[in-house]
Amino acid sequence: MRAALLITHVRPEEKLLLAAFGARGITPDVILDRDLVFDLTAGPEQYAPSGVPWSAYDVVFERCVSTSRGIYALAVLNSWGIRTVNTYRTAVTCADKLLTTLALTRAGIPQPHATAGFAEDSAMRAIAAVGYPAVLKPVTGSWGRLLARVNDHDAAEAVLEHRFTLGDWTQHTIYAQQFVEKPGRDIRTFVVGNRTICAVYRDSAHWITNTARGGTTSNCPVTDELDELCARAANAVGGGLLALDVFESPDGLVVNEINHTMEFRNSSAPTGVDIAAAMVDYALTLLSQPAAANTEATL
């Protein structure tokens, strides 16, 4: 059994994953994404930076901080039929909030009303359609960066002018969400395969509750309702190892977004669940299935 851990750098999460592999007698090769060179017109017999052919790996665990490196590496590996966690399809959907919304819509998962527009006038109409206050988000991004809550038409106009004048093309896709009134917290759940293994509340006085922005975590019981919703939502984006943001809206639970290379350093202690161990065990269960089952739905 040969595994690789593909990373940008070692975060506390990767240390925990390496320890969990170690506890199962496996020492993955650690591959840095900055060292990758792919011959795109050749196949999986070419050598990885670790000095063995890519085809030697039974599974490649992708944990890049760099979204673009992670996604393209998964595209290459899956196109060669190499088993990965997560798959390209899951990663590319989760990395983009607009594509995630579409996948959730197709699966009938409750979520905040969301719209998109691509020019200043049409984007203003898209924002008005979700109503004020609205939340504007870059379609790719994390840690709550560049999120804007706009309470009225004037604020929306100001944000759009900045995005279209100062931003590059990635800022010119305007994705707007209805602002959801939450009870001073939201829920972060961890899905492994078809199961919600644990969840935390993230409490914050600020409407952005990310722990990277100062939110504090405490255990959230996984009810059948929460488990079923999150498993369905995870499945809708291709499944795997995922973290979901869930809001307790006045109309019930809604799924805000899904992360495919989640951080979990603050969540094992309050939940008492060894998240890294569950992630590694999931990767190992994939080995009993043909690699094609993991990669065929991908490209």
Ligand X SMILES: Nc1ncnc2c1ncn2[C@@H]1O[C@H](COP(=O)(O)OP(=O)(O)OP(=O)(O)O)[C@@H](O)[C@H]1O
User: What is the contact surface with ligand X in residues (CB under 6 A)?
Assistant: 112, 135, 137, 141-145, 147, 177, 179-180, 182, 186, 207-210, 245, 256-257, 259
CB of 56 to ligand X, least distance (A): 33
Contact pattern for Mg ion over residues 244 through 263, marking x by CB under 5 A: -x------------------
Among ligand X, Mg ion, none, the one that 175 touches (CB under a kind-dependent 5 to 8 A) is none
Nearer to ligand X, 246 or 276 (CB): 246
CB of 281 to ligand X, least distance (A): 24
CB of 256 to Mg ion, least distance (A): 6
Among Mg ion, ligand X, none, the one that 207 touches (CB under a kind-dependent 5 to 8 A) is ligand X
- Tokens representing residue 253 in the block: 């639970």
Q: Residue 192's closest CA among 122, 283, 107, 130? A: 283
Residue 284: exposed, middle, or buried by beta-carbon count in 10 A (0-12, 13-18, 19+)?
middle
Nearer to Mg ion, 69 or 188 (CB): 188
Nearer to Mg ion, 59 or 244 (CB): 244
CB of 232 to ligand X, least distance (A): 19
Q: Residue 191's closest CA among 247, 251, 238, 140? A: 238
CB of 102 to Mg ion, least distance (A): 18
Nearer to ligand X, 20 or 254 (CB): 254
Residue number closest to Mg ion, CB atom: 245
3-state secondary structure of 37: coil
What lies within 8 Å, CB to CB, of 113 at 6+ separation is 129, 130, 177, 178
CB of 251 to Mg ion, least distance (A): 20
Among Mg ion, ligand X, none, the one that 74 touches (CB under a kind-dependent 5 to 8 A) is none
CB 269 within 8 A of CB 211: no
CB 60 within 8 A of CB 3: yes
Residue 281 contacts Mg ion per CB under 5 A: no
CB 22 within 8 A of CB 77: no
Among ligand X, Mg ion, none, the one that 90 touches (CB under a kind-dependent 5 to 8 A) is none
- Write the DSSP string, 102-157: HHHHHTT-----EEEESSHHHHHHHHHHH-SSEEEE-SS--TTTT-EEE-SHHHHH
- Tell me whether strands 29-32 and 3-7 are parallel, antiparallel or unpaired: parallel
Give the residues lining the site for Mg ion (CB under 5 A).
Answer: 245
